């Protein structure tokens, strides 16, 4: 009866909205009623006020076959990454992660030893970043492994950085290098196909270890925040790069109601990533703009901070904020202007 009733209902495919469109659709019209809720949906974290410090909260879910492939992802590495990507969201708000809860959906094909390996990675991440694992849940799964982590953090009210604070002429900065995690994924996928075709084939990982590390074991950029604080620089807007530079930059520009201009020759590109992209006939700039999973920090800051930024290691100024009517653009090496589009990861595509 239920199936027949559904047949008469209007149907909109989720893929027509995309991940962020779906979030907007589900949360539009929501109003907070608790005085402690200072920021709800729309940033890297929710922000709540419980006294002298603000509490930050983020959550992330990883599904086997969608977010990870256990044919080439070791469970310990998966646990480490699942925890770190949540820490990264807290750092992206200029906060400090403090606690996590871990919930798992586990199918019958996993043993206790398998889950021990997963938790070994989670525990290692917690030890390295000074975070407590304080609870969670487990249940049976019919579809493999599901990991859901919620992370809490703290920050002083004056220190929290949102996505909506970018101002005209602000500098646009990124940490690390971009597109590297994506190229690590391409390498793993390529060698998986080679192994499936010939189980005796020699896999081509030598000289590309950095790409694998960036995909399998990313790190949250706590060091960059520490360097900015030491230099006396407070970002005006910030988020981490999980879905690709273009997508994240457009989020900042939309919420800050500004435009942007970034330069191709300023994008930080690792040699191994560029070499593999050429080998695989991929455009490395496209990979940098849309690859995702780098978990580097993207932020804007005042032009007055330029001299303070220059000495900071592994930090790059890639452009500046413009008026909204100028749009969001990439300036190519030959001076051509290319409109930025959000073509990064979409879970529902």
pLDDT band at 136 (very low <50, low <70, confident <90, very high): confident
Chain mean pLDDT for the chain: 89
> What is the reported pLDDT for 27?
58
Cα 297 to the chain's mean position, in Å?
A: 9
> What is the reported pLDDT for 202?
73
pLDDT digits (tens, 9 = 90+) for 99-135: 999 999 999 999 999 999 999 999 999 999 999 998 8
pTM score of the predicted model: 0.87
Distances (CA, A) of 298 to 66, 97, 101, 342: 25, 18, 26, 15
> What is the reported pLDDT for 206?
87
> What is the reported pLDDT for 348?
43
Least confident stretch, 11-25, 46-60, 146-160, 191-205: 11-25
Angstrom distance (rounded) from CA 160 to CA 299: 13
> What is the reported pLDDT for 195?
86
Distances (CA, A) of 252 to 44, 165, 197, 239, 248: 11, 8, 44, 8, 7
pLDDT band at 344 (very low <50, low <70, confident <90, very high): low
pLDDT over 60 (residue 69): yes
Angstrom distance (rounded) from CA 345 to CA 242: 8
Angstrom distance (rounded) from CA 11 to CA 9: 6
> What is the reported pLDDT for 345?
47
Closest CA to 303 of 173, 159, 175: 173
> Helix, strand or coil for residue 184?
helix
pLDDT over 90 (residue 1): no
> What is the reported pLDDT for 338?
95
Least confident stretch, 56-70, 169-183, 216-230, 305-319: 56-70
307 or 135, higher pLDDT: 307
Angstrom distance (rounded) from CA 312 to CA 224: 8
Work out the average pLDDT over 220-231. 98
Is residue 139 within 8 Å of residue 230, measured between CB atoms? no
CB-based contacts of 221, cutoff 8 Å, min separation 6: 88, 91, 175, 176, 240, 295, 296, 297
pLDDT digits (tens, 9 = 90+) for 179-218: 999 999 999 999 999 888 887 777 788 889 999 999 999 9
- Domains of the chain with CATH codes: 16-159 (3.30.1330.10), 171-339 (3.90.650.10)
Angstrom distance (rounded) from CA 89 to CA 59: 9
pLDDT digits (tens, 9 = 90+) for 149-174: 999 999 998 999 999 999 999 999 99
């Amino acid at each position: 009866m239920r199936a027949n009733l559904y047949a008469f209902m209007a149907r909109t495919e989720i893929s027509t909205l995309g991940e962020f469109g779906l979030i907007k659709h589900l949360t539009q019209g929501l109003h907070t009623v608790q005085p402690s809720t200072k920021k709800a949906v729309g940033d890297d974290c929710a922000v709540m006020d419980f006294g002298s410090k603000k509490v930050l909260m983020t959550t992330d879910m990883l599904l086997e076959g969608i977010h990870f492939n256990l044919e080439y992802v070791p469970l310990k590495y998966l646990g480490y990454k699942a925890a770190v990507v949540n820490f990264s969201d807290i750092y992206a708000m200029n906060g400090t992660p403090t606690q996590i809860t871990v919930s798992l959906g586990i199918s019958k094909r996993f043993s206790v030893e398998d889950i021990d390996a997963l938790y070994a990675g989670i525990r290692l991440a917690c030890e390295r970043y000074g975070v407590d694992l304080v609870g969670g849940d487990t249940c049976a799964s019919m579809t493999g492994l599901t990991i859901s982590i919620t992370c809490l953090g703290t920050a002083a009210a004056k220190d929290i950085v949102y996505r909506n604070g970018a101002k005209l002429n602000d500098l646009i900065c990124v940490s690390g290098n971009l597109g590297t995690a994506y190229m690590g994924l391409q390498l793993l996928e390529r060698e998986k196909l080679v192994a499936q075709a010939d189980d005796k084939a020699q896999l081509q990982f030598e000289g590309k270890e950095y790409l694998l590390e960036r995909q399998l074991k990313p790190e949250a950029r706590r060091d960059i925040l520490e360097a900015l604080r030491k230099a006396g620089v407070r970002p005006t807007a910030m988020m981490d790069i999980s879905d690709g530079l273009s997508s994240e930059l457009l989020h900042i520009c939309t919420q800050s109601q500004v435009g942007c201009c970034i330069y191709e020759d300023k994008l930080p590109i690792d040699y191994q990533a560029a070499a593999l992209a050429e080998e695989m006939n991929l455009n490395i700039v496209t990979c940098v703009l849309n690859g995702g999973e780098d978990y580097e920090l993207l932020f804007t800051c005042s032009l007055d901070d330029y001299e303070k930024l220059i000495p900071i290691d592994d930090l790059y100024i890639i452009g500046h904020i413009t008026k909204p009517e100028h749009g969001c653009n990439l300036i190519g090496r030959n001076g051509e202007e290319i409109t930025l589009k959000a073509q990064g990861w979409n879970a529902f595509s």
